[in-house]
Amino acid sequence: MSPLAQIHSGIIAAIATAPGRGGVGVVRVSGSDLAGFALQLTGKTPRPRHATLTNFLAADGSAIDAGLMLYFPTPASFTGEDVLELQGHGGPVVMNLLLSRCLQLGARLAEPGEFTRRAFMNDKLDLVEAEAVADLIDAATAAAARSAVRSLQGEFSRAIHALVEELINLRMLVEATLDFPEEEIDFLESTDAFGRLVRLDERLGAVRAKAKQGRLLQAGLHVVLIGQPNVGKSSLLNRLAGDDLAIVTAIPGTTRDALKSSIQIAGIPLHIIDTAGLRETEDEVEKIGIARAWKAIEQADLALLLLDARAGLTAADRAILEKLPPDLARITVRNKIDLTHEAPEKHPNPSRSGMDIALSISVQSGAGMALLEQALLEVAGWQTGEDVFSARERHLRALEAGAEHLAVARREAENPSLALELFAENLRLAQNALAEITGEFTSDDLLGEIFSRFCIGK
């Protein structure tokens, strides 16, 4: 038995329902030969895939609780091992008593994500599907939940497997010519190897686009509201959140610390941070708030700079823009157009060409808020679609690595002095990068990192 198998062998148990009180609580058990375990716990031999009404018994034979026992013998279970699900009354005391009894009978407390890890190790799920379990639990919006379900049902995995299969077929054609260099070009052209490579690259691009959309649904966009004091940052936070989260007064410097709120637009989670007004000040507390504002800016995906429409883009505003990270997307918002009697508008940005959006709105009246929501989605790169699948940062990195290797292979294919070994090697590297996504080539360290982020009992 390998060291990894030894670490994750034996009977494990954990409370599978959320902490706190509820009508029903579940203790989950997984391992080998659980029929005898169930007999000691309940005095009954479990029937496969039937709900058995029973008492859960303490060591002295007294009842801990009464509930349902479900038994899923290997291999037809979530983990691929024997699985017991013990459904009792959902109070924390009774759940812990039932769990303690399972530990007395020889189980050990499951590690975070260990049930799902066993499902992966026993080929019940690939790594993408296993991660989709956690993504479904953590989904912050209905759209994110739907994308996680698509990954859990194997859509992402099937797309990756199709790409890997294409790469394998292409590699077979290329490597078949390595021993016959005098015939290599004619053979590759006759089998349309280069055309296959182009089409493969295009399909990979389509998968990357869907994965990026899925990652956006899961992680959302971190937006920081910045600007001078009294330009309407806190009012905008309140308007977006639909609640009076921030104190709004006419006194400059009212906001001293970062305030956070999460909203959703078109199913995209937006994590909004309202910051202290950026200005020179002698107030020690306000200085701390401004320092925290700059820290929030460094971690943001998007800076939303508010201006007072009556003053326009001032020298102080330009100074703020110049201090922003150069690769940080930003939207410039001229607020308070209700006071200048302007209509809401999207217009060219005076601060920087190409990467920015500029708007004129009134947070007070709500005029132009629809324009702002559209601009936020535009910066996020969201494209409406129901066929995206949930993806994680590691998936995007692997897809990017695969695309880079295919790009090198394409450049080599267009080189008149084709180096076939280099061409073949980049195809191999692209295959390995994509295979890491589903876990075909995955280190134990990466598995430990992935499953340690799961909740206990899953």
Q: State how far the Cα of 67 lies from the Cα of 27, in Å rounded to an integer.
A: 11
* Beta carbons of 110 and 12 less than 8 angstroms apart: yes
Q: What percent of the chain clears pLDDT 90, i.e. is strictly above it? A: 34
Q: What is the pLDDT of residue 7?
A: 47
What are the residue ranges spanned by the domains of the chain?
A: 3-123, 132-214+392-438, 220-380
Q: State how far the Cα of 38 lies from the Cα of 163, in Å rounded to an integer.
A: 45
Tokens for 115, please give them: 């049930």
Once rounded to an integer, what is the mean pLDDT over residues 254-270? Answer: 68
DSSP state of 113: T
pLDDT, tens only, 54-111: 999 999 999 999 999 999 999 999 999 999 999 999 999 999 999 999 999 999 999 9
Question: Over 70: is that where the pLDDT of 366 sits?
Answer: yes
Question: Over 50: is that where the pLDDT of 6 sits?
Answer: no
pLDDT band at residue 283 under the 50/70/90 scheme? low
pLDDT, tens only, 148-179: 898 988 899 999 999 999 998 888 877 777 66
User: Looking at domain 132-214+392-438, what is its CATH homologous superfamily?
Assistant: tRNA modification GTPase MnmE domain 2 (1.20.120.430)
Q: What is the pLDDT of residue 3?
A: 41
pLDDT band at residue 383 under the 50/70/90 scheme? low
pLDDT, tens only, 34-49: 999 999 999 999 999 9
Fold match between domain 3-123 and domain 220-380:
no
Which of 144-153, 173-182, 397-406 has maximum average pLDDT? 397-406
Q: What is the pLDDT of residue 281?
A: 55
H or E element, residue 438: helix 420-438
Q: What percent of the chain clears pLDDT 70, i.e. is strictly above it? A: 81
Is the model more confident about 270 or about 54?
54
Which of 135-149, 159-173, 377-391, 410-424 has maximum average pLDDT? 159-173
Model confidence, pTM: 0.71
Q: State how far the Cα of 400 lies from the Cα of 212, in Å rounded to an integer.
A: 11
pLDDT band at residue 354 under the 50/70/90 scheme? very low
Domain 220-380 fold is Rossmann fold (3.40.50)
Q: What is the pLDDT of residue 227?
A: 81
**CATH classification of 3-123, choosing from 3.10.640.10, 2.40.37.10, 3.10.129.10, 3.30.1360.120?**
3.30.1360.120
Once rounded to an integer, what is the mean pLDDT over residues 246-275? Answer: 63
Tokens for 212, please give them: 């990026």
Q: What is the pLDDT of residue 353?
A: 44
pLDDT band at residue 421 under the 50/70/90 scheme? confident
Question: Over 80: is that where the pLDDT of 19 sits?
Answer: yes
pLDDT band at residue 449 under the 50/70/90 scheme? low
CA dihedral of 167, 170, 176, 182, whole degrees rounded to 10: -130
Question: Over 90: is that where the pLDDT of 140 sits?
Answer: no
Question: Over 50: is that where the pLDDT of 220 sits?
Answer: yes
In DSSP notation, 27-71 reads: EEEEES-HHHHHHHHHSSPPPBT-EEEEEEE-TTS-EEEEEEEEE
pLDDT band at residue 202 under the 50/70/90 scheme? very high
Q: What is the pLDDT of residue 54?
A: 96
Give the burial string for 286-323 (b: 16+ CB within 10 Å, else e): beebbebbeebbeebbbbbbbbbbeeebeeebeebbee
Question: Over 70: is that where the pLDDT of 317 sits?
Answer: yes
Once rounded to an integer, what is the mean pLDDT over residues 136-155? Answer: 86
Q: What is the pLDDT of residue 319?
A: 81
Q: State how far the Cα of 349 lies from the Cα of 221, in Å rounded to an integer.
A: 21
